[in-house]
Structure 1
Amino acid sequence: MFAMRNDALDKFDLKLLELMQQDAQRPVAAIAEAVGLSVPACYRRMRRLRASGAIEREVAVVRPKTLGWPLSMIVLVTLEREDTRTMDAMMAQLRAEPEVIEAWNVTGDFDVAVKMIARDMESYDDTVRRLFLVNERVRTFQTLVVIRQLKDGSPIPVAAD
Protein backbone atom coordinates (compact mmCIF):
# COMPACT_ATOMS: atom_id res chain seq x y z
CA MET A 1 0.00 0.00 0.00
CA PHE A 2 1.08 3.54 -0.63
CA ALA A 3 0.59 6.20 2.01
CA MET A 4 -1.67 9.08 1.16
CA ARG A 5 0.01 12.32 0.19
CA ASN A 6 -0.28 14.99 2.85
CA ASP A 7 -2.16 17.29 0.47
CA ALA A 8 -4.82 14.55 0.08
CA LEU A 9 -5.55 14.78 3.81
CA ASP A 10 -8.17 17.26 4.96
CA LYS A 11 -8.56 18.78 8.41
CA PHE A 12 -10.69 15.84 9.60
CA ASP A 13 -8.06 13.30 8.50
CA LEU A 14 -5.30 15.28 10.19
CA LYS A 15 -7.25 15.47 13.45
CA LEU A 16 -8.01 11.73 13.24
CA LEU A 17 -4.32 10.97 12.79
CA GLU A 18 -3.40 13.21 15.71
CA LEU A 19 -5.94 11.57 18.03
CA MET A 20 -5.17 8.02 16.95
CA GLN A 21 -1.47 8.54 17.63
CA GLN A 22 -2.36 9.56 21.17
CA ASP A 23 -4.64 6.57 21.79
CA ALA A 24 -5.57 4.10 19.05
CA GLN A 25 -7.86 2.26 21.48
CA ARG A 26 -10.09 5.29 22.02
CA PRO A 27 -13.69 4.43 21.05
CA VAL A 28 -14.70 5.55 17.56
CA ALA A 29 -17.62 7.49 19.04
CA ALA A 30 -15.24 9.55 21.20
CA ILE A 31 -12.93 10.20 18.24
CA ALA A 32 -15.87 11.15 16.03
CA GLU A 33 -17.10 13.63 18.62
CA ALA A 34 -13.64 15.17 19.05
CA VAL A 35 -13.20 15.49 15.27
CA GLY A 36 -16.72 16.73 14.58
CA LEU A 37 -17.93 13.84 12.41
CA SER A 38 -20.68 11.26 12.66
CA VAL A 39 -19.56 7.82 13.88
CA PRO A 40 -20.09 6.18 10.45
CA ALA A 41 -18.17 8.97 8.66
CA CYS A 42 -15.35 8.75 11.19
CA TYR A 43 -15.19 4.97 10.86
CA ARG A 44 -15.04 5.21 7.03
CA ARG A 45 -12.20 7.73 7.22
CA MET A 46 -10.28 5.59 9.73
CA ARG A 47 -10.71 2.54 7.49
CA ARG A 48 -9.52 4.57 4.44
CA LEU A 49 -6.47 5.84 6.35
CA ARG A 50 -5.56 2.27 7.29
CA ALA A 51 -6.16 0.90 3.77
CA SER A 52 -4.11 3.68 2.15
CA GLY A 53 -1.11 3.03 4.39
CA ALA A 54 -1.32 6.45 6.06
CA ILE A 55 -1.76 4.44 9.27
CA GLU A 56 1.03 1.91 9.00
CA ARG A 57 -0.05 -0.31 11.90
CA GLU A 58 -1.52 -0.24 15.38
CA VAL A 59 0.34 -2.05 18.13
CA ALA A 60 0.69 -2.31 21.89
CA VAL A 61 4.01 -0.82 22.98
CA VAL A 62 5.43 -3.00 25.75
CA ARG A 63 8.28 -1.84 27.97
CA PRO A 64 11.22 -4.21 27.40
CA LYS A 65 11.84 -4.48 31.17
CA THR A 66 8.36 -6.01 31.56
CA LEU A 67 9.50 -9.03 29.55
CA GLY A 68 12.96 -9.33 31.09
CA TRP A 69 14.98 -7.12 28.73
CA PRO A 70 16.37 -4.38 31.02
CA LEU A 71 19.30 -3.27 28.84
CA SER A 72 19.07 -1.18 25.68
CA MET A 73 21.91 -0.32 23.36
CA ILE A 74 22.48 1.67 20.19
CA VAL A 75 25.12 0.03 18.01
CA LEU A 76 26.73 2.06 15.22
CA VAL A 77 28.18 -0.14 12.48
CA THR A 78 30.60 0.55 9.66
CA LEU A 79 30.48 -2.05 6.93
CA GLU A 80 33.50 -3.41 5.10
CA ARG A 81 31.95 -2.46 1.76
CA GLU A 82 29.16 -0.09 0.79
CA ASP A 83 27.40 -2.12 -1.86
CA THR A 84 23.87 -3.40 -2.23
CA ARG A 85 24.72 -7.05 -1.62
CA THR A 86 26.55 -6.27 1.64
CA MET A 87 23.80 -3.97 2.91
CA ASP A 88 21.01 -6.39 1.94
CA ALA A 89 22.74 -9.29 3.69
CA MET A 90 23.38 -7.20 6.82
CA MET A 91 19.79 -5.96 7.00
CA ALA A 92 18.43 -9.50 6.51
CA GLN A 93 20.61 -10.71 9.37
CA LEU A 94 19.47 -7.86 11.62
CA ARG A 95 15.78 -8.41 10.77
CA ALA A 96 16.10 -12.07 11.80
CA GLU A 97 17.60 -11.24 15.20
CA PRO A 98 14.99 -10.92 18.01
CA GLU A 99 17.29 -8.74 20.14
CA VAL A 100 17.43 -6.16 17.33
CA ILE A 101 14.28 -4.12 17.69
CA GLU A 102 15.08 -1.37 15.16
CA ALA A 103 17.74 -0.86 12.50
CA TRP A 104 18.44 1.89 9.99
CA ASN A 105 20.74 2.42 7.03
CA VAL A 106 22.23 5.85 7.84
CA THR A 107 24.49 8.51 6.39
CA GLY A 108 27.69 9.84 7.92
CA ASP A 109 30.57 7.97 9.53
CA PHE A 110 28.50 4.80 10.04
CA ASP A 111 26.46 2.70 7.63
CA VAL A 112 23.97 1.12 10.01
CA ALA A 113 22.46 2.14 13.36
CA VAL A 114 20.92 -0.64 15.44
CA LYS A 115 18.72 -0.43 18.51
CA MET A 116 18.93 -3.64 20.48
CA ILE A 117 17.93 -5.05 23.84
CA ALA A 118 19.56 -7.59 26.14
CA ARG A 119 18.75 -9.55 29.28
CA ASP A 120 22.23 -8.87 30.69
CA MET A 121 25.72 -7.91 29.53
CA GLU A 122 26.66 -11.53 28.87
CA SER A 123 23.75 -12.03 26.46
CA TYR A 124 24.58 -8.68 24.85
CA ASP A 125 28.17 -9.84 24.34
CA ASP A 126 26.98 -13.12 22.78
CA THR A 127 24.74 -11.26 20.35
CA VAL A 128 27.41 -8.70 19.44
CA ARG A 129 29.96 -11.42 18.81
CA ARG A 130 27.56 -13.24 16.50
CA LEU A 131 26.29 -10.15 14.66
CA PHE A 132 29.35 -7.94 14.45
CA LEU A 133 32.65 -9.36 15.75
CA VAL A 134 32.80 -12.45 13.53
CA ASN A 135 30.85 -10.93 10.67
CA GLU A 136 33.02 -10.44 7.57
CA ARG A 137 30.74 -7.63 6.40
CA VAL A 138 31.51 -5.49 9.48
CA ARG A 139 34.62 -3.32 9.57
CA THR A 140 33.96 -1.68 12.96
CA PHE A 141 31.15 -1.05 15.41
CA GLN A 142 30.60 1.13 18.43
CA THR A 143 28.11 0.48 21.21
CA LEU A 144 26.27 3.12 23.21
CA VAL A 145 24.59 1.69 26.32
CA VAL A 146 21.36 3.50 27.14
CA ILE A 147 21.39 4.75 30.72
CA ARG A 148 17.91 6.25 30.70
CA GLN A 149 15.31 6.78 28.00
CA LEU A 150 14.54 10.47 27.82
CA LYS A 151 11.80 10.35 25.22
CA ASP A 152 10.02 7.43 23.65
CA GLY A 153 8.38 6.91 20.25
CA SER A 154 6.51 10.17 20.08
CA PRO A 155 3.60 10.93 17.76
CA ILE A 156 4.41 12.38 14.36
CA PRO A 157 3.55 16.11 14.45
CA VAL A 158 0.37 16.89 12.53
CA ALA A 159 0.81 20.16 10.63
CA ALA A 160 -2.25 22.35 10.62
CA ASP A 161 -2.69 24.45 7.48
Structure 2
Amino acid sequence: MIGRGDLDSFDLKLIDALQADALTPVAVLAERVGLSAPACYRRIRRLRATGAIVRDVAVVHPRTLGWPLSMLVLVTLEREAADTVDEMMRMLKRVPEVIEAWNVTGDHDFVVRMLARDMESYDVLARRLFAADERVRSFKTLVVIRQVKDASPVPAA
Protein backbone atom coordinates (compact mmCIF):
# COMPACT_ATOMS: atom_id res chain seq x y z
CA MET A 1 0.00 0.00 0.00
CA ILE A 2 1.21 3.49 -0.73
CA GLY A 3 1.52 6.01 2.07
CA ARG A 4 0.98 9.74 2.44
CA GLY A 5 4.52 10.47 1.22
CA ASP A 6 3.76 8.69 -2.07
CA LEU A 7 0.80 10.97 -2.87
CA ASP A 8 1.08 14.29 -4.64
CA SER A 9 -1.46 17.13 -4.70
CA PHE A 10 -3.31 15.59 -7.68
CA ASP A 11 -3.70 12.29 -5.84
CA LEU A 12 -4.98 14.06 -2.73
CA LYS A 13 -7.52 16.06 -4.75
CA LEU A 14 -8.68 12.87 -6.47
CA ILE A 15 -9.05 11.06 -3.16
CA ASP A 16 -11.08 13.96 -1.75
CA ALA A 17 -13.36 14.03 -4.79
CA LEU A 18 -13.83 10.25 -4.89
CA GLN A 19 -14.66 10.09 -1.19
CA ALA A 20 -17.40 12.64 -1.79
CA ASP A 21 -18.80 10.77 -4.82
CA ALA A 22 -17.11 7.70 -6.29
CA LEU A 23 -19.44 7.83 -9.30
CA THR A 24 -18.12 11.16 -10.55
CA PRO A 25 -17.14 10.72 -14.20
CA VAL A 26 -13.40 10.69 -14.89
CA ALA A 27 -13.77 13.66 -17.26
CA VAL A 28 -15.31 15.74 -14.46
CA LEU A 29 -12.65 14.61 -11.96
CA ALA A 30 -9.89 15.44 -14.43
CA GLU A 31 -11.23 18.95 -14.91
CA ARG A 32 -11.53 19.49 -11.14
CA VAL A 33 -7.98 18.41 -10.36
CA GLY A 34 -6.31 19.86 -13.47
CA LEU A 35 -5.29 16.69 -15.31
CA SER A 36 -6.15 15.12 -18.63
CA ALA A 37 -8.78 12.39 -18.47
CA PRO A 38 -6.28 9.59 -19.33
CA ALA A 39 -3.84 10.79 -16.65
CA CYS A 40 -6.67 11.02 -14.13
CA TYR A 41 -7.84 7.50 -15.02
CA ARG A 42 -4.28 6.10 -14.62
CA ARG A 43 -3.94 7.72 -11.20
CA ILE A 44 -7.30 6.37 -10.01
CA ARG A 45 -6.37 2.89 -11.27
CA ARG A 46 -3.02 3.13 -9.38
CA LEU A 47 -4.75 4.30 -6.18
CA ARG A 48 -7.06 1.27 -6.36
CA ALA A 49 -4.29 -1.19 -7.30
CA THR A 50 -2.05 -0.10 -4.43
CA GLY A 51 -4.82 -0.28 -1.85
CA ALA A 52 -4.98 3.47 -1.18
CA ILE A 53 -8.61 3.24 -2.32
CA VAL A 54 -9.95 0.11 -0.67
CA ARG A 55 -13.32 -0.16 -2.45
CA ASP A 56 -16.23 1.74 -3.92
CA VAL A 57 -19.55 1.14 -2.17
CA ALA A 58 -23.12 2.37 -1.96
CA VAL A 59 -23.89 3.55 1.56
CA VAL A 60 -27.39 2.38 2.44
CA HIS A 61 -29.28 3.49 5.53
CA PRO A 62 -29.87 0.37 7.66
CA ARG A 63 -33.56 1.22 8.17
CA THR A 64 -34.09 0.94 4.42
CA LEU A 65 -33.38 -2.78 4.68
CA GLY A 66 -35.25 -3.34 7.96
CA TRP A 67 -32.48 -2.83 10.51
CA PRO A 68 -33.75 -0.01 12.76
CA LEU A 69 -31.55 -0.74 15.78
CA SER A 70 -27.83 -0.14 16.03
CA MET A 71 -25.71 -1.16 18.99
CA LEU A 72 -22.13 -0.74 20.07
CA VAL A 73 -20.99 -3.73 22.10
CA LEU A 74 -17.90 -3.49 24.31
CA VAL A 75 -16.42 -6.98 24.62
CA THR A 76 -13.84 -8.07 27.19
CA LEU A 77 -12.13 -11.40 26.62
CA GLU A 78 -11.26 -13.90 29.33
CA ARG A 79 -7.69 -13.99 28.03
CA GLU A 80 -5.88 -11.75 25.57
CA ALA A 81 -3.85 -14.55 24.01
CA ALA A 82 -3.15 -14.09 20.31
CA ASP A 83 -5.10 -17.21 19.31
CA THR A 84 -8.14 -16.08 21.33
CA VAL A 85 -8.09 -12.64 19.72
CA ASP A 86 -7.66 -14.19 16.26
CA GLU A 87 -10.58 -16.59 16.85
CA MET A 88 -12.80 -13.71 17.96
CA MET A 89 -11.86 -11.66 14.89
CA ARG A 90 -12.67 -14.57 12.58
CA MET A 91 -16.01 -15.16 14.30
CA LEU A 92 -17.04 -11.49 14.14
CA LYS A 93 -16.19 -11.33 10.41
CA ARG A 94 -18.64 -14.17 9.72
CA VAL A 95 -21.68 -12.54 11.38
CA PRO A 96 -23.74 -10.43 8.93
CA GLU A 97 -25.31 -8.34 11.72
CA VAL A 98 -21.81 -7.24 12.78
CA ILE A 99 -21.15 -4.38 10.39
CA GLU A 100 -17.98 -3.05 11.99
CA ALA A 101 -15.59 -4.35 14.62
CA TRP A 102 -12.39 -3.09 16.13
CA ASN A 103 -9.77 -4.79 18.30
CA VAL A 104 -8.91 -2.01 20.79
CA THR A 105 -6.71 -1.16 23.75
CA GLY A 106 -7.97 -0.24 27.21
CA ASP A 107 -10.60 -1.85 29.43
CA HIS A 108 -12.21 -3.76 26.56
CA ASP A 109 -10.75 -5.91 23.82
CA PHE A 110 -13.31 -5.30 21.06
CA VAL A 111 -15.83 -2.68 20.07
CA VAL A 112 -18.48 -4.18 17.82
CA ARG A 113 -21.12 -2.29 15.85
CA MET A 114 -24.17 -4.46 15.26
CA LEU A 115 -27.57 -4.07 13.68
CA ALA A 116 -30.83 -5.67 14.83
CA ARG A 117 -34.41 -5.80 13.65
CA ASP A 118 -35.66 -5.55 17.25
CA MET A 119 -34.44 -6.00 20.83
CA GLU A 120 -35.48 -9.64 20.94
CA SER A 121 -33.39 -10.56 17.90
CA TYR A 122 -30.45 -8.61 19.36
CA ASP A 123 -30.81 -10.50 22.65
CA VAL A 124 -30.76 -13.87 20.87
CA LEU A 125 -27.67 -12.89 18.87
CA ALA A 126 -25.83 -11.39 21.84
CA ARG A 127 -26.44 -14.50 23.90
CA ARG A 128 -25.10 -16.69 21.10
CA LEU A 129 -22.09 -14.51 20.27
CA PHE A 130 -21.03 -13.29 23.68
CA ALA A 131 -22.89 -14.76 26.68
CA ALA A 132 -22.42 -18.38 25.56
CA ASP A 133 -18.81 -17.91 24.40
CA GLU A 134 -16.30 -19.08 26.98
CA ARG A 135 -13.70 -16.69 25.52
CA VAL A 136 -15.82 -13.70 26.60
CA ARG A 137 -15.47 -12.48 30.18
CA SER A 138 -18.07 -9.73 29.81
CA PHE A 139 -19.83 -7.49 27.34
CA LYS A 140 -21.72 -4.21 27.57
CA THR A 141 -24.27 -3.05 25.06
CA LEU A 142 -24.80 0.59 24.14
CA VAL A 143 -27.97 1.12 22.11
CA VAL A 144 -27.61 3.99 19.65
CA ILE A 145 -30.37 6.58 20.10
CA ARG A 146 -29.40 8.59 17.04
CA GLN A 147 -26.41 8.81 14.77
CA VAL A 148 -24.90 12.26 15.11
CA LYS A 149 -22.41 11.98 12.27
CA ASP A 150 -22.23 9.54 9.38
CA ALA A 151 -19.01 7.90 8.33
CA SER A 152 -16.90 10.75 7.05
CA PRO A 153 -14.23 11.02 4.39
CA VAL A 154 -10.66 10.64 5.61
CA PRO A 155 -9.10 14.13 5.58
CA ALA A 156 -6.65 14.30 2.67
CA ALA A 157 -5.24 17.71 3.51
> Shorter-chain TM-score: which interval?
over 0.9
Equivalences for residues 15-34 of structure 1 within 5 A? 15-34=13-32
Instruction: Name the CA distance, whole Å, in 1 between partners of 2:63 and 2:127.
Output: 23
Deviation string for 1:96-138 (max 9, x for gaps)? 1111001110001000100000000010001000000110000
1:99 corresponds in structure 2 to: 97
Equivalences for residues 1-161 of structure 1 within 5 A? 3-159=1-157
Deviation string for 1:42-63 (max 9, x for gaps)? 0011001110111011111111
Under a length normalisation based on structure 1, what TM-score does the superposition of the two structures give?
A: 0.96
Deviation string for 1:8-38 (max 9, x for gaps)? 1111001000100000001111100000001
In structure 2, list runs of 5 or more residues that go unmatched: none
Instruction: Name the CA distance, whole Å, in 2 between partners of 1:142 and 1:136.
Output: 16
- Give the count of matched residue pairs: 157
Among all aligned residue pairs of Structure 1 and Structure 2, give the percentage whose two residues are the same amino acid: 67
In structure 1, list runs of 5 or more residues that go unmatched: none
2:3 maps to a residue whose letter is R
Deviation string for 1:57-99 (max 9, x for gaps)? 1111111100000000000000000001111111111111111
Instruction: Name the CA distance, whole Å, in 2 between partners of 1:44 and 1:82.
Output: 44
Under a length normalisation based on structure 2, what TM-score does the superposition of the two structures give?
A: 0.99
Instruction: Name the CA distance, whole Å, in 2 between partners of 1:84 and 1:61.
Output: 33
Q: Detail structure 1 runs of 4+ shifted over 3 Å in the superposition.
A: none
